[in-house]
Amino acid sequence: MDFEQMYNNYYMQVYSFVMTLAKNQHVSEEITQQTFFKAMTAGGKFQGGSSELTWLCAIAKNLLIDKLRSQKRIDEFPIDNISDENKNIESNYIDEDSAFVIHQVLHNLEEPYKEVFQLRVFGELSFQKIGKLFNKTENWARVTYHRARLKIQERMENL
C-alpha cells in the first residue's frame, strides 16, 4: 500500500469529513494527520472489506470520538457552575440514561446501517456523499438510512 499516494488522494476528503464532525479547523487538521499516521502504522490491518476512504473515515471518526471523550473529562467539572449542577441533578441523570440507551441501541446496530446513520446524523453528510463513501448510489444511502431509523425505533420500543 503506497501511503504517500493514499495521503495525496484522500487527504482533502478525510479533512472535509472530520471538519463536518468537529466544526473546528485546528481539531480537523490534527485528527486528519493522526488518521494518516495511524493508517500508516497499522501495517496490514486494512483488509479491503471497504474502500480505503471508508476505512480512513472510520479511523478519523474514532480518533475524534476519543479526543472528545478526553476533552469532556478535562472540562467535566467547571468550578463556576457547581451550584447550578446540583439544582438539575435528577434531570441530568434521566438525560444521561436516555442518551446511554440510545447509544447502546446504536452500538448494537448492524453494519452498514450503523455507519450510515452515524454519518448522516453525527457527521451531517449528505446522502450523495454517504453513497460515495460506500461506492453506492445516493438512493442506496437514503434507503439504508431510513431502514436504520426504523430499526432503532423498533429496538427502542422493545426496551
CATH assignment of the domain containing 97 = 1.10.10.10
5 and 74 in one domain? yes
Residue 94 and residue 21 share a domain: no
Q: Mind listing the pLDDT tens digit of every residue in the chain (159 residues)?
A: 577 888 888 888 888 888 888 888 888 889 989 988 888 887 556 656 677 888 888 889 989 888 888 777 555 544 444 344 444 444 444 455 666 777 777 778 888 888 888 888 777 788 888 889 899 998 898 888 888 888 877 887 776
Question: Is residue 21 located within the same domain as residue 50?
Answer: yes
Q: Is position 20 within any domain?
A: yes
**Structural domain tally of the chain?**
2
CA-CA distance, 58 to 14, in Å (whole number)? Answer: 10
Domain coverage including residue 118: 90-154
> Does pTM top 0.75 for this prediction?
no
**What is the CATH number for 31?**
1.10.1740.10
User: Do both 31 and 68 map to the same domain?
Assistant: yes
In a domain, 14, yes or no: yes
| Same domain as 124, residue 75 | no
Under 8 Å between Cβ of 106 and 118: yes
b (16+ CB within 10 A) / e for 83-108: eeeeeeeeeeeeeeeeeeeeeebbee
**Could you tell me if residue 85 is inside a domain?**
no
Boundary-marking domain end, from 41, 59, 80:
80
Q: Is 44 exposed, middle or buried (0-12, 13-18, 19+ CB in 10 A)?
A: exposed
Do 94 and 62 share a domain, yes or no? no
